[in-house]
Chains A and B, each alone.
Chain A
Amino acid sequence: MSSRPRLRALLRGLLPLVALLLATPAQAVDGNALLKQLDRNLEPESYEMYRKLINVEPDGSRKEYVLYTVKKGRDKMVALFLDPPSEKGRATLRLGDNMWLYIPNVGKPLRITSLQSVVGGVFNNADILALEYSVEYHVDQVEEDGNRYILSLKARTPAVAYDRLKMWVDKATVLPVTIEAYAASGLLIKTLHYKDIKDFGGIKRPSVLETDSPLYKGYTSVMLYAKIKARVFPDEVFTLDYLPRAGELR
């Protein structure tokens, strides 16, 4: 047998494999790249924004809070309460996994834990100071269901508030639709629903985030977003010394 037929036979054998290798990247979804794209679609890497947080109780009564938030890079963030007067001036700082809370009466920032509630209700500190999804989680698995991707996310470190997330992502917009947050025990802690896509001057994203929790039956928390703008602040803004003056940034 000459070498030519042997080469042909080898090529014939390799062809399906080469075809498979070439086809795979085109068909499979890179979950982590998708998550990064989703983060960018939600907000710029460095920004300022306003949020209204509404706790709705079973009888329909509400408590409302207004926050001003600034973020820089992957893990620097400050959230300042503007309203109601009982919370005004309260500010939280996040640098990576380190978090501090400043209460005007206490007069100095104190270290706090990520799950600590800054105000009562379903939202905790980790929700208010949440970083980008791709910073806190990696994608374990990607499934497809019609016009949605379903991402299974695992926390990168134990410092992250929720151990696992199950995220439904709209294929066309690459924006989250529903997220289920689970504890390490597998217990469903809360479900987040992104709604009402609006144009924030270049960023088209949901303007409402509704949260309910089986731990707080009948209670709902709603986050409304406004004035999301790309803005880069000096690093010195994200320091304990500056925290009492966070209101001057606006």
Chain B
Amino acid sequence: MPGRWLVFSTAVFLSASAAAAEEYRFDVEAFEKKPFEVNGYAELRAERFWLDRDTALYQLTFFDQEAHSALDRTTGALELSGLYRRGIATVQATGHAEAARDELGSEGETRLYEGYLTLEPATGTRVEAGKRVLRWGKGYAWNPVGFVERPKDPNDPELSREGFVTLGGSYTRSLDGALKTITFTPLLVPTSDHVNEDFGPGDHANPAGRLSMLAYDTDFDVLVLGAGARSARYGVDFARNLATNFEVHGEWARITDATKPVLSASGAVTTQTADTPSYLLGVRHLSERDTTTIIEYYYNGAGYTESEMRDYFTFVHAAYDQFVATGDSTSLERARNVQNAYVRPNPMRRYFYLRVSQKEPFDILYVTPALTVIANLDDRSYSAAPELAYTGVTNLDLRLRVFFLAGGRLTDFGEKQNNRRIELRARYYF
């Protein structure tokens, strides 16, 4: 009997030891660097838009369609990134495909976001050619110095975006002393009828450059885009930790000969040209209770004034009334011709951004509630978006957001086509 007990005890001990070893297993060889790498994500997004039929942008968008009080949209997206490395060369590419369906119909598109070759003959010296996403600036919601990138959506600043075809490089030196690092990034953004046609018109080389420094524990950049398909512009930015839990950042840019179409209340369209400054000042704070707060103030010198925006909305309302009364859509078409300038995100002058997120409240791991507010300081309209994110399942991100848009008549957020929106997004990474 004691013999059996000994055998049993030994078996239990051995299996427990095996379980402990299994518990903390680390097969590091599985993570060896490989010449090929592929990864990406698949995303499913369900959205409901509550439409406000009395707003200018609803009337402009839906005047020739059946009336809707709500839209339910389902979107599926797939993003794939691949990399191949050999010697000093690396080829990287990212493709994005998206298909959406709602009561108005369905649409889909596939785009190459990036596809470029990097040659790195020495650490800190690099040459790159191909389609590339460049993100300049320190701002979270906006980047006045983002001269060679597509505008970011302040409601989703971390979304991946499509790049431009560029030829460039970078040279970095680390130094001893107050100036710790210096990096120079020269760049060409060629435009023609076939390359970067949405960067700007005409055949141009569009030289650009960035000089980055880390000095006195502060990040500094000087950024320039020469005249070509776009007018010349230059700017600076900085970021610094004032304390371990408090960061401050800012950007300033000057755009020479910035143009914008202005539609008067009577319907006349003129083009305004002026040298305009834009700037941003922001802070980021982390409290002892793991609350992250981001606050930014953005002055968009190239944006519309309150009276210019009121004129546009007044014209759209009048044009819609005319269409309802007579069936004549000429004026609405005229408003549509300039809507790209007026309807883009944050088209006016002064904006305020606030994002407060609480990591794992009440010790609930992997849950992060947040609130994002974007306010137009000119007309006091705003968008408020509470959200809940959950990352408890490996490789799966879940996010639920609700947008509430508020503002008076003829205001930025008050005239958007929807006054509420709910969005549930599931993203699976592989």
A interface, CB within 8 angstroms of B: 50, 52, 54-55, 57, 63-64, 66, 68, 82-86, 88-89, 95-98, 103-108, 110-117, 120-121, 158-159, 183, 196, 208, 215-217, 219, 222, 224, 226-227, 233-242, 245, 247-248, 250
Verify if B316 is at the interface (C-beta below 8 Å from A): no
Supplied contacts A106-B157, A227-B28, A241-B124, 9 more A-B pairs, CB within 8 Å? A54-B24, A86-B395, A96-B217, A111-B239, A115-B290, A196-B24, A224-B24, A236-B172, A239-B172
* Interface membership of B380, Cβ < 8 A: no
Residues of A within 8 Å of B81, CB to CB, are: 104
Question: Which residue of the partner chain, among A98, A183, A234, contacts B217 with CB atoms under 8 Å?
Answer: A98
Q: Which listed residue, A97, A103, A107, A242, touches B123 by the CB 8 Å rule?
A: A242
Q: Which residues of chain A come closer than 8 Å to B185, judged between CB atoms?
A: 241
Chain A-chain B contacts (Cβ-Cβ < 8 Å), number:
150
B109-126 CB mask vs A (1 if < 8 Å, else 0) is 000000000101001100
Q: Which residues of A contact B219 (CB under 8 A)?
A: 111, 240
- Tell me whether A98 and B241 are in contact (CB under 8 A): yes
In the complex, which of the residues A52, A103, A105, A106 contacts B26, with contact meaning CB atoms closer than 8 Å?
A52
Given contacts A116-B286, A227-B28, A247-B33, are A159 and B244 in contact (CB under 8 A)? yes
Residue contact A113 to B247, C-beta cutoff 8 Å = yes
Using CB atoms and an 8 Å cutoff, list the residues of chain B in contact with chain A. Answer: 24, 26, 28, 31-33, 39, 41, 81, 85, 90, 118, 120, 123-124, 133, 135-136, 138, 140, 157-160, 170, 172-174, 180-181, 183, 185, 212, 214, 217, 219, 239-241, 243-247, 249, 284, 286, 288, 290, 292, 359-360, 363, 365-366, 391-392, 394-397, 429-430
Complex contact A250–B33 (CB within 8 A): yes
Knowing A105-B159, A111-B241, A239-B183, the reply to whether A50 touches B28 (Cβ < 8 A) is yes
Nearest neighbor of A196 in chain B, beta-carbon distance: B24
B31→A50 contact, CB < 8 A = yes
Nearest chain A residue, comparing its CB with the CB of B133: A107
A242 touches B24 (CB 8 A): no
Q: B181 to A222, Cβ gap below 8 A?
A: no
Q: Which chain A positions have C-beta within 8 A of B136?
A: 108
A83: chain B residues at CB < 8 Å are 31
Contact across chains for B24 and A215 when beta carbons are under 8 A apart: no
Give CA–CA (A84, B391) in the complex, Å: 12
Contact B158 A106 (CB under 8 A): yes
- Partner among A52, A85, A222, A233 whose Cβ is within 8 Å of the Cβ of B429: A85
Q: Are B363 and A215 in touch, CB under 8 angstroms?
A: yes
A83-B31, A120-B366 known; A115+B286 contact, CB < 8 A: yes
A95–B183 CA distance with the chains assembled, in angstroms: 16
By the criterion CB–CB under 8 Å, are A84 and B183 in contact?
Answer: no
A-B contact pairs, 15 of them (CB 8 A): A63-B366, A63-B392, A84-B394, A86-B41, A86-B391, A86-B397, A105-B158, A106-B135, A111-B138, A113-B247, A116-B292, A120-B366, A120-B391, A234-B123, A234-B174
In the complex, what distance in Å separates the CA atom of A46 from the CA atom of B237?
A: 33
Q: Which residues of A contact B292 (CB under 8 A)?
A: 116
Complex Cα–Cα for A96 and B217 (A): 9
Q: Are A239 and B124 in contact (CB under 8 A)?
A: yes
Contact A248 B85, beta carbon cutoff 8 Å: yes
- CA distance in complex: A226, B124 (Å): 28
Task: Find the B residue at minimum CB distance from A107.
Answer: B135
> A110 contacts which chain B residues (CB < 8 A)?
138, 140
Q: Is the CB of A237 within 8 A of B123?
A: yes
Given A111-B247, A113-B244, CB of A95 within 8 Å of CB of B214? yes
What's the Cα separation between A106 and B136 when bound, in Å?
11
Nearest-neighbour CB distance to chain A for B91, whole angstroms, equals 13
Among candidates A95, A98, A108, A208, residue contacting B135 with C-beta atoms closer than 8 Å: A108
Contact between A105 and B24 (Cβ–Cβ < 8 Å)? Answer: no
- Is the Cβ of A113 less than 8 Å from the Cβ of B241? yes
Asked if residues A222 and B133 are in contact (CB atoms below 8 Å), the reply is: no
**Residue from A57, A64, A111, A233 having most chain B Cβ neighbours under 10 A:** A111
Q: Which residue of A lies closest to B185 (CB)?
A: A241
